[in-house]
């Protein structure tokens, strides 16, 4: 893992284990979402909320969570991973490529092809490639990684 992500390994590995997700996948998400910057903040002009922290969790994703809490790296990784786990299991039927697209752009955005040049499936493919480069994602079904 690159240094800007390696520094968060102590948070990523136990959290990923808790939700039974490859830690290299969570590390790749952190890389693509924030570059490893816990103070990352992105105002989303198309959304009613902003993206915050390492995993760029949108502030409306958890009604009982504040933006201040989301800037805490441990909290952000825990909730971002939990959110991804819920999307993976409840919305994407266990398909990581679809879950990553949904995490990035929302289910409606993916279905309506409104994810922009780098969102949705392009984001998912980039994350999966990074995950493989980090030595992970080897147990994912091959069709998920190759499907375009």
Read out DSSP for 9-67?
HHHHHHHHHHTT--HHHHHHHHHHHHTT-TT-EEE-TTSSSEEETTTTEETTS-TT--H
**Which residues 6+ apart lie within 8 Å of 37 measured at CB?**
4, 54
CA torsion angle for 87, 10, 27, 32 (degrees, to 10)?
Answer: 100
Report the residue count for the chain: 148
Asked if pLDDT for residue 62 goes beyond 70, the answer is no
Q: What is the pTM of this model?
A: 0.87
Token reading at 96: 């990581």
6 part of the active site? no
Structure confidence by residue, pLDDT tens digits, 28-37: 999 999 999 9
Structure confidence by residue, pLDDT tens digits, 86-128: 999 999 999 999 999 999 888 887 877 777 777 889 999 999 9
Helix-helix angle 23-34:73-86, to 10 degrees: 110
Q: Which of 6, 13, 33, 48 is catalytic?
A: 33
């Amino acid at each position: 893992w690159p240094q800007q992500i390696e520094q968060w390994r102590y948070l990523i590995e136990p959290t990923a284990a808790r939700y039974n997700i490859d830690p290299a996948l969570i590390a790749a998400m952190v890389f693509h979402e924030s570059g490893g910057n816990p103070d990352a903040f992105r105002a989303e002009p198309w959304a009613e909320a902003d993206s915050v922290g390492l995993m760029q969790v949108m502030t409306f994703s958890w009604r009982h969570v504040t933006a201040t809490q989301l800037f805490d790296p441990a909290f952000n990784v825990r909730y971002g991973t939990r959110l991804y786990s819920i999307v993976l299991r409840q919305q994407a039927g266990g398909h990581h490529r679809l879950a990553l697209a949904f995490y990035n752009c929302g289910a409606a955005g993916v279905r309506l092809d409104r994810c922009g040049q780098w969102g949705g499936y392009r984001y998912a493919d980039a994350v999966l490639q990074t995950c493989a480069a980090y030595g992970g994602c080897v147990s994912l079904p091959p069709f998920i990684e190759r499907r375009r």
